[in-house]
Structure 1
Amino acid sequence: MSLVGGIVIFCITWMVVLFTVLPWGVKPQNDEEGEIEPGTVESAPANPRIWKKFGITTVVTALIFIIFWTIIELELFDFRAFFQDI
């Protein structure tokens, strides 16, 4: 796998994992006991904790990428042959 290919695969995987992680632990402002932030809708997240979610996304993506990279580099599965048969 080339460096550019690895970066592309990591970025695509990161975005997919991010959209999976984003809804975790989200509570709308109208469910919280505090005031609704002026200029936002009632259903906006009260505390989105986006940096924590970015960190979780990066760790999960790194684990997935390491597994994928190992499969490619050790030739445990031949993806090219698999997709040629389809």
Structure 2
Amino acid sequence: MGWVSGTVVYFLIWWVVLFAVLPIGTQPVAEGDAESGWRGAPQNPRLWRKVVITTLVSTVFWLGAYVLITSDWMSFRSGWLAMPEK
């Protein structure tokens, strides 16, 4: 895996994990008022904390994907998953 494809895979994993982490621990505002914003918006979203958690989880998933992609355990070039030769 080159650095460009590795970066793209990391970004895709990070984005999916972000949407999985965003709803964790949020409590919506029961009644909307001018100070807290829209009804249903979280009171304290803690976005920086969620970005850090997302980055750590994404790094672990990316390392697993990197090991899987670079290993010959599941290869499309050789083995039972290989494309048939013409």
Tell me the TM-score normalised to structure 1 length.
0.80
Q: How many corresponding residue pairs?
A: 82
Residue deviations 1:35-83, cap 9 Å, x none? 9453711211000000010011001100000011011222221146748
Q: 1:30 is paired with a residue of what secondary structure?
A: coil
Higher relative CO (Cα under 8 Å, sequence separation at least 6) belongs to 1
* 1:13 aligned partner: 13
- Structure 2 unaligned spans of 5+: none
Q: Percent identity?
A: 34
CA separation in 1, counterparts of 2:82 and 2:15? Answer: 24
Decide which moves more: 75-84 or 46-55. Answer: 75-84
CA separation in 2, counterparts of 1:21 and 1:69? Answer: 22
Larger radius of gyration: 2
Retained in 2: the 8 A contact 1:18–1:53?
yes
- Structure 1 unaligned spans of 5+: none
* 2:2 aligned partner: 2
* 2:70 aligned partner: 73
Q: Which has the higher helix share?
A: 1
* 1:26 aligned partner: 26
Q: 1:29 is paired with a residue of what secondary structure?
A: coil
